[in-house]
Amino acid sequence: MKSDHMMTDNEISQGYYGWWRIIETSQWDNSDLDIIGTALLSLTGSDDRLRMFVLLAHVNCIPTKAGVSFTWHGAWEYDPVSGTGSVKLRKDGRLTGKIKIKNGDQSTFIAERANEPVEHIPDPPNYRDKWRRRR
C-alpha cells in the first residue's frame, strides 16, 4: 500500500489552498474594501469565509480543472445575499476571480496569498439583528 496522499476530487489543490487577501475589484470602490476588516477569501474546503466591503459570507468551494469555483451565502450589511464566484491562479502567484451577487452586481477581483487571520471572521449577521441594533 502506498503512503503517498492521493488528492480526492473535492480537495482544493495546494496552489489555491489557504487564505487570500482581496486587494482590488473592478466594480466597487477599493478604498472601502476593508471597511469591516481585512478583505479575505479562504479556500480550504472547510468552513470557508469571504469578507469584503460590508459583505460577510460562508463559502462552499468546488475544485475545477480551471481553478476553484464557489457558491456563497451571507449578508451585505444586514441584508441576506448569496451568489457565486470563481478563481484562477495567475503566473505571478496572485488569484484573479469573479464574484456575482444573485440578482445584483458582479465584479472581477485580484487577491494575494495571505495568512489566516488571528481573529476569526464572524458569521454573517441575521436580518433581525438590524432591527435589534436600533433600539
43: CATH: 2.40.128
Nearest partner of 87 among 124, 106, 105, 62, judged by Cα: 62
pLDDT of 62 reads 95
**Contact status, residue 52 vs residue 33, Cβ threshold 8 Å:** yes
Residue 131's contacts (CB-CB under 8 Å, 6 or more residues apart) are none
pLDDT of 9 reads 57
What distance in Å separates the CA atoms of residue 111 and residue 113, rounded to the nearest whole number? 7
Q: Is residue 5 part of a domain?
A: no
What distance in Å separates the CA atoms of residue 118 and residue 135, rounded to the nearest whole number? 32
Q: Is residue 45 part of a domain?
A: yes
pLDDT by residue for the chain (135 residues), tens only, comes to 333 444 455 789 999 999 999 999 999 899 999 999 999 999 999 999 999 999 999 999 999 999 999 999 999 999 999 999 999 999 999 999 999 999 999 999 999 999 999 998 999 988 777 776 555
Nearest partner of 95 among 70, 118, 75, judged by Cα: 70
pLDDT of 3 reads 36
Nearest partner of 111 among 54, 39, 15, judged by Cα: 39
State the DSSP H helix or E strand holding residue 129, giving kind and residue range, or none if neither.
helix 127-133
Domain extent for 24: 18-116+125-133
pLDDT of 2 reads 36
Q: How many domains does the chain have?
A: 1
pLDDT of 129 reads 74
